[in-house]
Structure 1
Amino acid sequence: MRLNQLVVSVVLVLLGIPSMATAQSNWNVKQTFHIGGEGGWDYVTIDAQSHRLFVTRSTHTQVIDDESGKVLGDIPGQIRSHGVALVPKLNRGFITDGGGKGAILVFDLKTYAVLGKLAAMPDADGIIYDRKTDLVLAVSGDGNALMTFHPDIDPQSGKIDAPIELGGAPEFLAADGEGKAFVNLEDKDLVAVVDLNTRKVLAKWPVAPGGHPVGMSMDRNAHRLFIGCRNPQKLVVMNAENGKIEAALPIGAGVDATGYYNGQSFASCRDGSLTVIGTAGDKFAVEQTVKTADGARTMGIDGGNHQIYLPTSEFEDATGGGRPKSKPGTFKLVVVGR
């Protein structure tokens, strides 16, 4: 750091004002939990109060203690699981199953017992719970739609609401807590803005200079979306009020998730990189790139213990230029902290 930069940073610290330099903190791999078990993996959902991780594993979903790595439960009955949404007030969780005709599995948060399955649309994928509207929101990639239902639905005979047509293939989503949802349309390079009360698409905003948006997270206080794009490889910062692109920063290859925590945003990528981006007012900069592990493309952030969890496995050597195959029984969680 140059002398004048150092002086400015010291002054800002004394005044209690954050700067890019002072906001930087070193994130590093702290440990690796070797979990094992069969199946691939997709999204990670954190229950910060109980320090539990819910990780979808294709045909089942594992519940893992995020302090010890111990497997607390294993929820069966999926064909191709993707994501988990949690509603603690009802002691319920919901798992999207994109296999077959599509389904959403309902389970008990304490016993992990399966309570029932809801018929859904094909390729049920990203799923979240929005407290403001008291709705579970899930997207159907093949159905080009947003699915919604109240979490107190009858798990045996309940029916989800009529789908909201999006006009593109959704991947993941966020809600602003004020009645709007934002959905990545991967094939259109757009973000669809949905009014959850009127159930109408209000706008579609381009993510350029990024493309193929997949991961999404949100800073609700600042009304910003953090969108992970694969082609070009960018972390796009979008104003959630008007769709303006505030920044587009370089990230690794194969991003699948983004996260926001305590003034920093993160992009986890298949190439084994975790990009850390700092915010100072309306300025953004890459502060750090953490080397995690190959295949660690999704993540969950536990704000309670200030750690990030990235699922992956060991891989066989790729042949013929194709994607390497996961070695059976080598599933693990890479734990990143400060």
Structure 2
Amino acid sequence: MSPGWLALAGALALVTTHAQPSPHYRIAHEVSLPGDEGWDYLAFEAGGHRLFVSHGARVLVVDTDKLAVAGEITDTPGVHGIALAPDLGRGYISAGRAGVIVVFDLKTLARLKQIKTTGDNPDAILYDAASQRVFTFNGRGRNATAVDARTDAVIGTIALDAKPEFAVADGKGRIYVNLEDKSSLAVIDPHKLSVISVWPISGCQEPSGLALDAAGGHLFPVCANKVMAVMDAASGKVLGSAPIGGGVDAAAFDPGSRLAFASCGEGALTVVSTSAAGVLQVAQSVPTRRGARTMALDARTHRIYVVTADFGAAPPATPEHPHPRPAILPGSFRLLVLEPQ
């Protein structure tokens, strides 16, 4: 083939690559779940078929092949998050109201023990496989508690001087956590239990959810001012942003499709295409349901899971609760399964 034809073929291949459309997501299933309490984070068992759903004072476990409840872990007051340690056969739950970590058997779901955290209101929780340590990020405590997952002993506290939100680990010796009230992101050394850096997230207000493209070295914080930012995970430089829906509380990144996601409580899932250079472009805004603000991703099937419920009127405001949440209507809690077409 002549050099001219080679150049033309290369150009056509490049155009074809960039012209490939992103998958189109839709709600494929709605599954009724028991209970009328509130909810927070979801966690999917990587390589498995179980979804862990925080719900009031328990964690529901859903078989995602059968789309049916397969079990539960009880006595987790004010549950926020779930971290899974498959190499150790255990899971960890942040019970914010009780101020403890609940440890359970990953196979049987049996409750094994509880561990007192070193800060009030443990919220997000993370297992770092590289260090075999569990970290809770304590909202009112403005710190993080570190636990040796091999012994379940508390081994330290990391002062953050800010309200931590969601966190991710790169598996290479770094943990990243959003600092909501500082509109910034902290980088933590999980071995030394110290803060390496604190990076401002320009253009982002009150970051909540956070996702990581580990191979590409990009972070995706999602923010209360309806923005998803993209940051260089090595330097903290903000590379760009994309508009998302309101009421966001979680983010995810799918390495297979190179799509980033933001689950927004206003009733939308924002789907964002990403590039190696850190360019973001909104690919789709998928209608979900009001309240579907947290999610989990199954990277193998590319499914997205969110939960929500129907709401009634909010109770009257009081000095203790100046901004009361609307009441959840009985029997309306459900799982939404979004699939690409």
The question of a shared fold, defined as TM-score above 0.5 by the shorter chain, is answered with yes
- Residue identity opposite 2:35 in structure 1: G
Q: 1:310 is matched with which residue?
A: 306
**How far apart, in 1, do the equivalents of 2:11 and 2:71 lie?**
48
Equivalent positions of 1:253-268 (< 5 A) are: 253-261=246-254, 262=256, 263-268=258-263
The reply on whether 1:145 has 2:136 as its aligned counterpart is no
- Residue identity opposite 2:282 in structure 1: V
Change (3 A) 1:222 1:23: farther
CA deviations 1:236-275 (Å, max 9, x no partner) are 1111111111111111111000000020100001001100
- Residue identity opposite 1:274 in structure 2: L
**SS where residue 20 of structure 2 aligns?**
helix
**How far apart, in 1, do the equivalents of 2:209 and 2:199 lie?**
16
Structure 1 residue 146 displacement after superposition: 1.6
- Between stretches 263-272 and 119-128, larger displacement belongs to 119-128
CA contact (8 A) 2:307 2:335 kept: yes
- Residue identity opposite 1:138 in structure 2: T
**SS where residue 160 of structure 1 aligns?**
strand
CA deviations 1:137-157 (Å, max 9, x no partner) are 221111111221122224xxx
**SS where residue 161 of structure 1 aligns?**
strand
Q: 1:249 is matched with which residue?
A: 242
Give percent identity, aligned residues only.
36
- Residue identity opposite 1:87 in structure 2: A
The one of 176, 181, 184 equivalent to 1:187 is 181
Q: 2:192 is matched with which residue?
A: 198
CA contact (8 A) 2:53 2:61 kept: yes
CA deviations 1:277-328 (Å, max 9, x no partner) are 0013322100100001110000000122221000111222557896432112
Equivalent positions of 1:202-241 (< 5 A) are: 202-230=196-224, 232-241=225-234
TM-score (normalised: structure 2): 0.90
- Between stretches 134-143 and 213-222, larger displacement belongs to 134-143
CA contact (8 A) 2:311 2:328 kept: yes
Structure 1 residue 333 displacement after superposition: 0.7
CA contact (8 A) 2:165 2:178 kept: yes
Q: 1:105 is matched with which residue?
A: 102
**How far apart, in 1, do the equivalents of 2:201 and 2:189 lie?**
20
The gaps in structure 1 that reach 5 residues or longer are: 1-9
**How far apart, in 2, do the equivalents of 1:131 and 1:188 lie?**
28
Aligned length: 322
CA contact (8 A) 1:61 1:76 kept: yes
- Residue identity opposite 2:210 in structure 1: M
CA deviations 1:158-181 (Å, max 9, x no partner) are x31220101111011111111111
- Between stretches 319-328 and 117-126, larger displacement belongs to 319-328
Equivalent positions of 1:9-48 (< 5 A) are: 14=13, 18-19=17-18, 21-48=19-46
Q: 2:165 is matched with which residue?
A: 171
The one of 279, 282, 299 equivalent to 2:295 is 299
**How far apart, in 1, do the equivalents of 2:315 and 2:10 lie?**
55
CA deviations 1:92-123 (Å, max 9, x no partner) are 110001114x1000001111110010011211
- Residue identity opposite 1:131 in structure 2: A
Change (3 A) 1:287 1:329: same
**How far apart, in 1, do the equivalents of 2:66 and 2:246 lie?**
30
CA contact (8 A) 1:12 1:18 kept: no
CA contact (8 A) 1:38 1:328 kept: yes
Q: 1:124 is matched with which residue?
A: 122
CA contact (8 A) 2:315 2:327 kept: no
CA contact (8 A) 1:43 1:299 kept: yes
CA contact (8 A) 1:106 1:115 kept: yes
TM-score (normalised: structure 1): 0.90
- Residue identity opposite 1:22 in structure 2: Q
- Residue identity opposite 2:108 in structure 1: T
CA contact (8 A) 2:147 2:156 kept: no
Q: 2:337 is matched with which residue?
A: 335
CA contact (8 A) 1:60 1:75 kept: yes
**How far apart, in 2, do the equivalents of 1:12 and 1:286 lie?**
25
